[in-house]
Chains A and B, each alone.
Chain A
């Protein structure tokens, strides 16, 4: 069974999803970082496929992506690394990247590679549901990978319902209308509104969450939280070895 599916069947509260850019801080750190995240009890690892023009990302992830590309990260290297990770770790892995990367690799080939190395889900922020449905859904439907689409505080209810129908991983609730890593006041009414919508998919809240307080706040309204920029800053400051210290500061 798909590891994401299995996770959500056994756990519906306090899910912690940690994002790390592949190939950061050094090319082969991905493998050891993900293994350490797994050992530290993280529920999902989201691996960013570094991109030259990451439109939805703030400075921290932009910079880590640049570094990773300079380090020589690319999709073939990443797939090898996931294979390596899978020898030891069963933590669900979700890849996050931009649509152009899939297009150039070939969508079908990309999906097949993901499945064969042990990726469980995908997040493609610049593939909107309308174009997905019109042009690409048939291709994705052939694969067992789970897709997660984003919603924001501004997404209207009918669109959220449609996003819920098209997602089969989780709903990625963007906490504020901003690029990744932006810290702003959270509108709890938005969290509550979505909580009351009774959606089919589990909901994870992300963007701007950096500490225990943010993690706990997210868990009051959703099934879990996604932490990215804060973890990248931690690794950047203290080194790729220091994974557990960050996770222990969160829970």
Chain B
């Protein structure tokens, strides 16, 4: 009998050769506390009750699985949109922050830190901190503060402090460095709510589990609509990979379902201005995790480029590095202008303005051979209000 590759859970913190917790001794107590407690806490009935209750009544779950008729006509293939953009705060990020704030409370933490790129995770973190009354500090690259101004204002109104990360490329990677350093300096009372399936074990697994509600609902919704839980393929954008991990989770071992991970090619995969991590990246350690990352021959981490702040990250979560290396997930890279075009198409065909990150997933429809009977589910990870300025000012669009 052929042995089945396991994708769903890490073993000793590793997904195949990826993952682990490559952290300074200074972080050991914080990370170990989480490692020892996260599964236990997540299985407590009172935790599940609170988590599911908030997802339903506060976030507004389940999110619809919407059949996009005009898009389906356009592409001559069936297109379903998993509407994470309809979550409270406008993206899937809140599924994770709800879970982690409940976790932080149970670990008696009094102070919350987070990093953010597009500002969606920062807003989602500021939101749950307001919800439970905890202090919130969000690190954000100086460059991202400028290009995602509406979200900065939202975080401030929610009572969070936004601290600019001025080191390195002044984007998501540097905001993450600053958050980790803050945690080193405040090990006892602080919980770090990481925003994607990245970082040291157990973060990739914990965040994946919180986001897995996406595919859990998808299974039921597809069964209701089509009498079959399995679509032909699931398409999601991958920055760190949390919306993709959530959309894939319950299908990871069902190899008949195709998984399409869409990366940001920036100005082109080989242009030197890209965030197509898995295609030009090599194995290495970033933010405490062994994964694929963009780096020089000398092991210096390279500054990525994407028009989308949420995909502007030189690594990917270790689960995705594993899925891609094992050929379980297929990678498509989408350039900046193509993503913008895809956003306009969805806006004008369906009346939905997607986030720039999500627009990359939509653009992938142009790059996949679609058959008329295919069932394509696109994880519509967020809405595009925050990106209006970029969409409007992008050359070639009025």
Chain A residues with CB under 8 Å of chain B are: 51-53, 55-56, 58, 62, 66, 69, 74-75, 98-105, 125-128, 131, 134, 149-152, 154-155, 159, 163, 174, 177-179, 182
Which of B26, B168, B297 counts the most chain A CB atoms within 10 A? B26
Cβ–Cβ contact B295 & A100, under 8 A:
yes
| Nearest CB on B from A47, distance (A) | 16
Known: A62-B167, A178-B184. A103 touches B285 (CB 8 A): yes
Segment at the A interface, from B17-25, B322-330, B361-369: B17-25
Cβ–Cβ contact B286 & A53, under 8 A:
yes
Beyond A53-B173, A126-B23, A179-B181, list 18 extra A-B contacts (CB 8 Å): A52-B168, A55-B184, A69-B300, A99-B22, A100-B295, A101-B300, A103-B283, A104-B282, A104-B296, A126-B24, A128-B23, A150-B25, A152-B26, A152-B28, A154-B187, A159-B28, A177-B185, A178-B185
In the complex, the chain A residue whose C-beta lies closest to that of B296 is: A104
> Which of chain B's residues 335-380 have a Cβ closer than 8 Å to chain A?
none
B residues near A182, Cβ cutoff 8 Å: 185
Cβ–Cβ contact A104 & B295, under 8 A:
yes
Query: Would you call B284 an interface residue if the criterion is a C-beta within 8 Å of the partner chain's C-beta atoms?
Result: yes
B residues near A98, Cβ cutoff 8 Å: 285, 299
> Which of chain B's residues 252-290 have a Cβ closer than 8 Å to chain A?
282-288
In the complex, the chain A residue whose C-beta lies closest to that of B26 is: A152
Query: Would you call B60 an interface residue if the criterion is a C-beta within 8 Å of the partner chain's C-beta atoms?
Result: no
Known: A53-B173, A104-B297. A99 touches B285 (CB 8 A): yes
Tell me the complex Cα distance, A56–B167, Å. Answer: 14
Chain B residues with CB under 8 Å of chain A are: 12, 20-26, 28-29, 167-168, 173, 177, 180-181, 184-185, 187, 282-288, 295-301
Cβ–Cβ contact A74 & B184, under 8 A:
no
Cβ–Cβ contact A177 & B26, under 8 A:
yes
B residues near A74, Cβ cutoff 8 Å: 298
A residues near B24, Cβ cutoff 8 Å: 55-56, 125-126, 128, 150
In the complex, the chain A residue whose C-beta lies closest to that of B181 is: A179
B residues near A178, Cβ cutoff 8 Å: 26, 184-185
Cβ–Cβ contact A125 & B25, under 8 A:
yes
B residues near A174, Cβ cutoff 8 Å: 25-26
Cβ–Cβ contact B298 & A105, under 8 A:
yes
Which of B12, B29, B184, B295 counts the most chain A CB atoms within 10 A? B184
Cβ–Cβ contact B300 & A155, under 8 A:
no
In the complex, the chain A residue whose C-beta lies closest to that of B303 is: A52
Tell me the complex Cα distance, A81–B53, Å. Answer: 62
Which of A100, A127, A155, A159 makes the CB contact (< 8 A) with B284?
A100
Which of B167, B288, B299 makes the CB contact (< 8 A) with A66?
B167
Instruction: Count how many pairs of residues, one from A and one from B, have CB atoms less than 8 Å apart in the complex.
Output: 105
| Nearest CB on B from A109, distance (A) | 12
Which of B185, B288, B299 counts the most chain A CB atoms within 10 A? B299
Known: A154-B29, A174-B26. A104 touches B299 (CB 8 A): yes
| Nearest CB on A from B76, distance (A) | 46
Known: A55-B180, A126-B288, A150-B25. A101 touches B187 (CB 8 A): no
Tell me the complex Cα distance, A127–B23, Å. Answer: 7
Cβ–Cβ contact B181 & A128, under 8 A:
no
Q: Please, could you name 23 A-B residue pairs with CB atoms under 8 Å apart, sorted by A?
A: A53-B168, A53-B286, A55-B184, A55-B287, A56-B24, A74-B298, A75-B298, A100-B285, A100-B295, A101-B299, A101-B300, A103-B283, A104-B296, A104-B298, A104-B299, A105-B299, A126-B22, A126-B23, A126-B288, A152-B26, A152-B28, A155-B28, A174-B26
Which of A58, A75, A127, A155 makes the CB contact (< 8 A) with B22?
A127
Which of B187, B285, B301 makes the CB contact (< 8 A) with A177?
B187
The 9 closest A-B pairs by CB, nearest first: A104-B299, A150-B25, A56-B24, A52-B300, A101-B299, A100-B285, A125-B24, A100-B299, A154-B29
B residues near A152, Cβ cutoff 8 Å: 25-26, 28
B residues near A134, Cβ cutoff 8 Å: 12
Cβ–Cβ contact A151 & B180, under 8 A:
no
| Nearest CB on A from B309, distance (A) | 18
Tell me the complex Cα distance, A98–B301, Å. Answer: 12
B residues near A62, Cβ cutoff 8 Å: 167
A residues near B284, Cβ cutoff 8 Å: 100, 103-104
